[in-house]
Amino acid sequence: MKPAPFDYHAPGTLAEAVGLLASLENAKLLAGGQSLVPMMNFRYLLPDHLIDLNGIAELAGITLLGDRLRIGAMTRQRELEFSAIVAQRCPLLKEALAHVGHRQTRNRGTIGGSLSHFDPSAEQPTVCAAHDAVVEIASPGGTRRVPFAEFGLDFMTTAVGPDEVLSAIELPLWSPGHGWGFHEFARRRGDFAIVASAALIERDGSGRIARASVTLAGTGTGPLRLPRLEDALVGTVPEAGALAEAAELAGEIDAVSDIHASGDYRRHLARVLTGRALADAARRGG
């Protein structure tokens, strides 16, 4: 299959892209194209206009801003995967990216494209949920900032409006020395996860858990934070028994059933993978 006919636009600035999006009917934004182009080829999507964001330099880049990491929406996944700043200050993102597609897709795929596509099994939205990210969205009326907890509205549906462009992501960083873990189960390496689990842990001076974040992917319409499990971890010593007991709570979620796995199987995976992610986070956190 090949895509239906469309008009191609290549803006050089974010303002120009926003203007085109506001003035053209049935327009789609092209970031990395790793999801959009196949959908166009199969004619699941039939845009009349394609607005290519690849020539907009201001939409790419990785910047450390104190205790926040700012990532331009057009930053390639491969650049994030090998960024020294990401490895040092946001290692959960680096670990999760190793599960995203294959080298060829990461060479072109962008973080903004992944968030906008908002597949419920995707790794990058899961990391953003774990870090309580803030998403920056540009529109003809200016720029607004959306907490990631309010970003996903439904299955593959986000808060980005039809005349808006996701321009950047800011990740609040955890303290140096925190622990992290990411585990997923997929049918084949590079496939979307059946279930994935991301964990972050900070310890206090006595070695007990002072702060925790646990997020699941693949169980519903988007990333799922587990505040009850996080609260159960705070104040405990991160030993095997306590971590395993907390991981059991991940199996009490409501999980979807589909052609890939039943809800019961997803709950089983949630327990197992969360236990592994927490064990890694405890081992790595000092």
Question: pLDDT tens-digit profile of 223-241?
Answer: 999 999 999 999 999 999 9
- Predicted confidence at residue 263, as pLDDT, reads 97
Report, at the CATH architecture level, how domain 63-172 is classified.
Answer: 2-Layer Sandwich (3.30)
Strands 27-30 and 49-52 come out as parallel
Q: Please report which confidence band the pLDDT of residue 156 belongs to, taking 50, 70 and 90 as the band edges.
A: very high
CA distance 136 to 138: 7
Residue 67 has pLDDT above 90, yes or no: yes
User: What's the CA gap between 18 and 95, in Å, rounded?
Assistant: 33
Average pLDDT rounded to a whole number, residues 89-117: 95
Cα separation of 150 and 222, whole Å? Answer: 11
CATH architecture, domain 179-284 = 2-Layer Sandwich (3.30)
CA distance 143 to 19: 13
pLDDT recorded at residue 51 = 97
Residue 1 has pLDDT above 80, yes or no: no
Tell me the average pLDDT of the chain: 96
Kindly report the backbone phi and psi dihedral angles of residue 2, in degrees, each rounded to the nearest multiple of 5, phi listed first: -125, 155
Which range (171-175, 187-191, 242-246) has the least confidence? 187-191
For residues 247 and 29, give the distance between their C-alpha atoms in angstroms, rounded to a whole number: 39
Quickly list H helices, 102-226: 103-108, 111-117, 123-130
Residue 107: pLDDT band (50, 70, 90) is very high
Q: Which CATH class is domain 7-52?
A: alpha beta
Residues 16-45: pLDDT tens digits? 999 999 999 999 999 999 999 999 999 989
Alpha carbons within 13 angstroms on the beta-carbon side of residue 218 total: 31
For strands 7-9 and 49-52, give the pairing: parallel
> What per-residue confidence (pLDDT) applies to 286?
72
CA distances (Å), 192 to each of 9, 144, 173, 259, in order?
A: 31, 30, 26, 14
* Domain residue ranges in the chain: 7-52, 63-172, 179-284
Token pair in block for residue 8: 């191609």
